[in-house]
Structure 1
Amino acid sequence: MAQHIARRLSIRRRPRDPRAQRGAGTLASVPYRYRSDDIDLDKTIDVLTERPVPEDTDIIVRERMRSRRAAVLIVDVSGSMRGEKVRITAATVAALAAELADDQLALVAFWSDAALLKRLEAAVAPAKLLDQLLRIPARGLTNVHFGLAVAHAELAGSAARQRTAILLTDAVHNAGPDPRTLARRFPELHVLLQTDGEHDVPLATDLARLGHGRLAPVRTHRDAAPALNRLLAG
């Protein structure tokens, strides 16, 4: 079921420049990639003089570009990884992998311990990544601080201009130091709060606020992709 949900959500977007992404950055003239309709006429005419039968991508458009981004998904695998919790995890991994298809994505799993399942620079198919995650035996305690520590160390080694962490958890922290102190050190930390069972809204709210990010509740797997869109839209 988890793999089925992941396949439904893992839809690659049309190709884009792997060195940059659309956003609030420098205005640049780039080949048309089915996004901007602001045509750079001078540069397009230069191209068309050499190609009397042009393709769509021979059109040059103006887009605002920013540098490649790096993101770490931090997944809570403590407690019981079954039922809707597994489906939410599958939907989150798939939707984030699709959103960051041309960027860098790392994956951290945590319980009373933590594990870095994928480094930022590693190339791993989303289906394989999900399989690795779901094969981790669920543990009872939840050490949010440990998961954040591993994710922060991975992000700190990235040279990307935009560095983001997304924490998927019920925020029921019951092992290790208070994670609030570490949340302050992130350039951007968003929280996807699982609300289908026991959850801690005050802690999740504090982590997002201290981490310069936003909080989005997810009750079912259908909430994951829209919630990610809201978190990453800014």
Structure 2
Amino acid sequence: MPRPRAQSSSRRGQGVLASLPYRGAADDIDLDATIEVLAERPVPEDEDIIVRDRIRSTRAVVLLVDVSGSSKGERLTTSAAAVGALAGELERDRLAVIAFWSDAAVLLEIGAPVRPFELLDQLMRIPARGLTNVAFPLQLAAEQLARSPERDSRVVLLSDCVHNAGPDPRPLAAALPRLDVLLDTSGERDVELGRELARSGHGTLHLVRDFHDVAPAVTDIFRDR
């Protein structure tokens, strides 16, 4: 499979190993590439030393947060933790946030500036209400990703997956580049549907009991990505 193309907004870290001019960070010298450069420049500069380092293209991620009638109390804290964890993880990437119940609301458009405190305030102001329609936010997520040029794009769903309104969400999950599921197990939940959504979306399922579990799960989702 072709590797993601490194874009101008790429940053170092986990990702594709590449040969780059030395800029004071990496210390794994690419001897062959460096010798080629030094053969043409008898008085080398620091950047004539070529090192091996990892670069990663920017990502586009849509977070779907369940605020249906079952999402009360501790679940709201878990939702807030998910927004905070992703805002921190994707500080230099492109993030969209969609809250959903039987309907849905886009709290942050893809690529818009991420202001975590404003996002959390918007989220906490939405009353827990209605049934749970998992299909509709998946459709909105696909529309958000279609507006973003990043090849590394995915959706993260935080929900109990008790889908009781709208059409079958599985076909919509299968149409996404990747869907990872954070399944809240603090109350009523449908683990089997969560597992099927993650499988259909070529992603992973992570069970979260409370807000303490969110950050480790987010780290696992984006590990080596």
1:171 is the counterpart of 2:161: yes
1:113 is the counterpart of 2:114: no
In the alignment, the residues of structure 1 paired with residue 24 and residue 159 of structure 2 have an alpha-carbon distance, to the nearest angstrom, of 36
The percent of aligned pairs where both chains have the same amino acid is 51
Displacement after TM superposition at 1:125 (Å): 0.9
Which residue of structure 2 aligns with residue 91 of structure 1?
A: 81
TM-score (norm: length of structure 1): 0.81
SS in 2 for 1:29: strand
Structure 1 stretches of 4+ with a deviation exceeding 3 A read 21-24, 30-34, 39-43, 45-49
Q: Which of 80, 92, 116 is equivalent to 1:102?
A: 92
More displaced 10-residue stretch of structure 1: 72-81 or 25-34: 25-34
Q: Could you tell me which amino acid in structure 2 is paired with residue 172 of structure 1?
A: V
1:146 is the counterpart of 2:121: no
Displacement after TM superposition at 1:155 (Å): 0.8
1:76 is the counterpart of 2:78: no
In the alignment, the residues of structure 2 paired with residue 164 and residue 26 of structure 1 have an alpha-carbon distance, to the nearest angstrom, of 22
Q: Which of 10, 20, 25 is equivalent to 1:29?
A: 20
Displacement after TM superposition at 1:169 (Å): 0.2
More displaced 10-residue stretch of structure 1: 75-84 or 143-152: 75-84
Displacement after TM superposition at 1:220 (Å): 1.1
- Bigger radius of gyration among the two: 2
In the alignment, the residues of structure 2 paired with residue 233 and residue 32 of structure 1 have an alpha-carbon distance, to the nearest angstrom, of 25
Which residue of structure 1 aligns with residue 170 of structure 2?
A: 180
TM-score (norm: length of structure 2): 0.84
Unaligned runs of 5+ in 1: 1-16, 50-58
8 Å contact kept, 1:30–1:63: no
Which residue of structure 2 aligns with residue 221 of structure 1?
A: 211
1:129 is the counterpart of 2:119: yes
1:64 is the counterpart of 2:54: yes
Instruction: Give CA deviations for 1:176-227 in whole Å, capped at 9, x if unaligned.
Output: 0010110000111000000000000110000000000000000011000001
Q: Could you tell me which amino acid in structure 2 is paired with residue 25 of structure 1?
A: V
In the alignment, the residues of structure 2 paired with residue 91 and residue 225 of structure 1 have an alpha-carbon distance, to the nearest angstrom, of 8
User: Relative to 1, partners in 2 of residues 1:33 and 1:48: Cα closer, same or farther, differing over 3 Å?
Assistant: closer
User: Relative to 1, partners in 2 of residues 1:203 and 1:32: Cα closer, same or farther, differing over 3 Å?
Assistant: farther
In the alignment, the residues of structure 2 paired with residue 167 and residue 232 of structure 1 have an alpha-carbon distance, to the nearest angstrom, of 14
8 Å contact kept, 1:18–1:102: no
In the alignment, the residues of structure 2 paired with residue 226 and residue 118 of structure 1 have an alpha-carbon distance, to the nearest angstrom, of 23
In the alignment, the residues of structure 1 paired with residue 24 and residue 116 of structure 2 have an alpha-carbon distance, to the nearest angstrom, of 24
CA-based RMSD: 2.5
Instruction: Give CA deviations for 1:117-136 in whole Å, capped at 9, x if unaligned.
Output: 11111103111111111111
In the alignment, the residues of structure 2 paired with residue 33 and residue 133 of structure 1 have an alpha-carbon distance, to the nearest angstrom, of 41
SS in 2 for 1:38: coil
More displaced 10-residue stretch of structure 1: 108-117 or 63-72: 63-72
In the alignment, the residues of structure 2 paired with residue 193 and residue 155 of structure 1 have an alpha-carbon distance, to the nearest angstrom, of 22
In the alignment, the residues of structure 2 paired with residue 217 and residue 46 of structure 1 have an alpha-carbon distance, to the nearest angstrom, of 53
In the alignment, the residues of structure 1 paired with residue 202 and residue 215 of structure 2 have an alpha-carbon distance, to the nearest angstrom, of 21
User: Relative to 1, partners in 2 of residues 1:181 and 1:230: Cα closer, same or farther, differing over 3 Å?
Assistant: same
Unaligned runs of 5+ in 2: 1-6, 38-42
Displacement after TM superposition at 1:143 (Å): 0.4
In the alignment, the residues of structure 2 paired with residue 86 and residue 165 of structure 1 have an alpha-carbon distance, to the nearest angstrom, of 20
